[in-house]
Chains A and B, each alone.
Chain A
Amino acid sequence: MNGVAVGVFVFLFLLVTVMGFAASRWRRAASLDNLDEWGLGGRGFGTFIAWFLIGGDIYTAYTFIAVPATLYAGSAVGFFAVPYTIVVYPLIFLFLPRLWSVSHRHGYVTPADFVEGRYDSRPLALAVALTGLLATMPYIALQLVGMQVVLEVIGIGTDSSNWFVKDLPLFLAFAVLAAYTYSSGLRAPALIAFVKDTLIYVVIIVAVIYLPSQFGGWGAIFDTVESSFASFNADNADAIAAGQATPRAIMPAEAAHWAYGSLALGSALALFMYPHSVTGVLSTRNRSVIRRNAALLPAYSFLLGLLALLGFVAIAAGVKVANPQQSVPQLFENEFPAWFAGVAFAAIVIGALVPAAIMSIAAANLWTRNIYRAYLRPDATHAEQARQAKLVSLLVKFGALVFVLALSKDFAINLQLLGGVWILQTLPAIVIGLYTRWLHRWAVFAGWAVGMAWGTWLAYGVASPVQAHFGGPLVNLPGTETKVYIAMLALALNLLVAVVLTPVLRAAGVDDGTDHTSPDDYTADLGDEGVVEELDPAAG
C-alpha cells in the first residue's frame, strides 16, 4: 500500500461522492417524486450530457478490466470488443430514435412498457421485464468485481484475514453509491460521468504515450508478446493437444473468425436491449441527440481499443499476476508515479460507480413499472412508484454486493455471459416491434421462451479447461466445426419460431390483442403534439 496513491484515490472518491449528492439540485427539478425525474433524469439531457452518460453506460469499469485481461491471457478473440463497439452505433442510429418517440408520446419508462403497449400482452411484457432484471443483476455484480480487483492491487483491506475488514472498503464504496443514487436518481451518474471520463481519458492518453516508450515502442511490445506466446505454446504443446490448455495468439486463428464476428454482432445487438442502455437513451431531450451521439460515441471505442492493448503492454513490462484481471492495475502500480497510479485507480473505481448506478436505476424502473405497478399495486401514484423504485435500487445493489462477496466471482462472470444470451432473446419483441406488428404476440412469446431455454442449455454444455459448465460463450454451429456465439444461435431459433408460429396462430384465430400505438408515434419528436420537453407526470 502506498500512502500517496491511497490519498489521491480517496480524495477523488470523496469528490465524486459530494457531486453525487449535489446532483439532486442539478438542472432544477421541481420534484424528484416521479419516475420521469428520478429514473430518467427529467428526460431532458442534451447531446453533451448524453455523450458522457451513454458512454459511461457502454464502457464500464468491468470492460476496462476484462478486455485487457483477455489479451494479457493470450486470447485474441477478446479484442472483439472493438468491432462490437463500432457495429453498435449504426444500429443505435436506426432503431433507438423510434423507441424514443413512442416512449415519449406514451410515457413509457422501460422497454417492457413499450412491449405491453405494442403487443397488448402482459405475459410478454413480464417476460421482457424479468429477462432485463435477470441480465442486469450480474452486470452490476461485475462492476463490483472490477472495483474489487483495483482495491486488491492498491492493497486496501487485503492485508487482513478478517473477511469484514477485507471487504469493508468495497462495502463503504457501495453504501455511498447506494445513498446518492437513492437521493439523486439518474442525475447522479450523469454528473459523475464527467469526472469519470475526464480521468479515464487522461489516464489512457498518458498510458498509451508514456508506457510504450518505456518498453521500446509498440513494435517491440508486439514482438515481445508474440515470442512470449510462442514459447508458452511450445512449453505447453502436450496440454494444448490434449485440450487442457488454450493456445495463445495475438490474432484470432482462421477457425475463430466466425466466433469473433458473431460475438461482435451479437453483443452489439444485445447492448441496446439492456435496460440500462434504454434508460440512457430515453433520458435524452430529442431524437437528434441520439443520432448525433451515434456519430460521437465511437471516440470511446478508440479508447477501449487502446486500453485493451495495455494487456500486451503488461506482458512486455513483465507484469506477473495469477489473476489476469489484475494485469492492468498492476501495470499502473509498477510503472506510474504513486500519485498518478492513485488517479488511475480512482478512474477505474469511479468508472464502476457510474454504470452500477445506471443499471440499478434501470432495474428499479423495470421492477416498479412492470411488476409492482402491473401486478402488485395497479393504482400506485407517481410518488409511490418513485418511492418504490428508490427502495428497489438499494435492494438491487445490496443483492449484487452479497452476490459478489458470498458467491464466487466466476459465478458472476458466468451469469453475465448468460445475461448476454438472455437479453438478446428480447430483440424480436423490441426491435421488430418498432417496425411492424406482423408477428403474433404469442409467437413472439414462444420464440422468446425457446431462445431462452436453448441458449441456456447450450451455455450449460460448454466446458473449459477450468470449468465443466458455462465455460465460454461459443459453441459449434450445428453440423460444423465452426464456433459461433451462443446468443446468435438462440436468436436465430427464436426468430424462426416467431415467424413460423405467426401465420399458424393467425389461422387458428388466436386473439392477437390491440396495438395501443399508432404509426406516427414512432417518428414523433420534441414539439409535436403530445411530446413536450418536460412530461407532466400527472398526465402519464
Chain B
Amino acid sequence: MSSNARWTLICVLLAPAVVLPLLVGVYDRHDPELWGFPFFFWFQFLLIPIAAVLTTSAYYLARSGEKKGDRR
C-alpha cells in the first residue's frame, strides 16, 4: 500500500467518528427506545464503541506503515 493510500484510508476510517456525532438531526428522536433509553441517548452511547473500533483499526494501519518508515 502506498503512503497516500494508507493515510487516505486512515482518514476515511476516522471520518465517521468526527462527522456522525455532529449530525444531530440524524439521532435527535425518541424512538426506537432501547432498554428504556430514548434513541437520542443510546445512539450516542453506541457511537462510543464504534469510534473506538474505527480508531483502533486506524491505529493498526498507521503502525504497519510506521514499521516501513511511513509516518505522518
A residues touching B (Cβ–Cβ < 8 Å)?
79, 82-83, 86-87, 89-91, 93-94, 97-98, 217-222, 250-252, 254, 257-258, 260-261, 264-265, 287-288, 291-292, 294-296, 298-299, 301-302, 305, 309, 523, 525
30 A-B pairs with CB atoms under 8 Å apart are A83-B22, A83-B44, A86-B21, A86-B48, A90-B58, A91-B18, A94-B11, A97-B71, A217-B35, A217-B36, A218-B37, A250-B40, A251-B30, A254-B28, A260-B24, A261-B21, A261-B22, A261-B23, A261-B24, A265-B22, A287-B71, A288-B63, A292-B59, A295-B52, A298-B48, A298-B49, A298-B52, A299-B52, A301-B48, A525-B66
Contacts of B18 in A (CB 8 A): 87, 90-91
Nearest-CB residue, chain A, relative to B13: A90
B residues touching A (Cβ–Cβ < 8 Å)?
11, 14-15, 17-18, 21-25, 28, 30, 33, 35-38, 40-41, 44-45, 47-49, 51-52, 54-56, 58-59, 62-63, 66, 71-72
Instruction: Report yes or no: B63 in contact with A83, Cβ–Cβ below 8 A.
Output: no
Q: Taking A86-B47, A298-B49 as given, write out 6 further A-B residue pairs in contact, using a Cβ cutoff of 8 Å, ordered by the A residue number.
A: A86-B44, A87-B21, A90-B55, A218-B37, A220-B36, A525-B66
Contacts of B52 in A (CB 8 A): 295-296, 298-299
Q: How far is the CB of A495 from chain B (nearest CB, A)?
A: 18
Q: How far is the CB of B33 from chain A (nearest CB, A)?
A: 7
Partner of A87, one of B22, B24, B25, B59: B22
Where chain A touches its partner, the secondary structure class is: helix
Nearest-CB residue, chain B, relative to A290: B59
Residue of A87, A97, A292 with highest tally of chain B CB at under 10 A = A87
Contacts of A525 in B (CB 8 A): 66, 71
Partner of A93, one of B14, B21, B33, B36: B14
Contacts of A288 in B (CB 8 A): 63, 66
Tell me whether A294 and B55 are in contact in the complex, defined as CB-CB below 8 angstroms, given that A222-B36, A523-B71 are known contacts: yes
Bound complex: CA A90 to CA B51 (Å): 8
Instruction: Report yes or no: A305 in contact with B22, Cβ–Cβ below 8 A.
Output: no
Bound complex: CA A372 to CA B44 (Å): 45
Contacts of B66 in A (CB 8 A): 287-288, 525
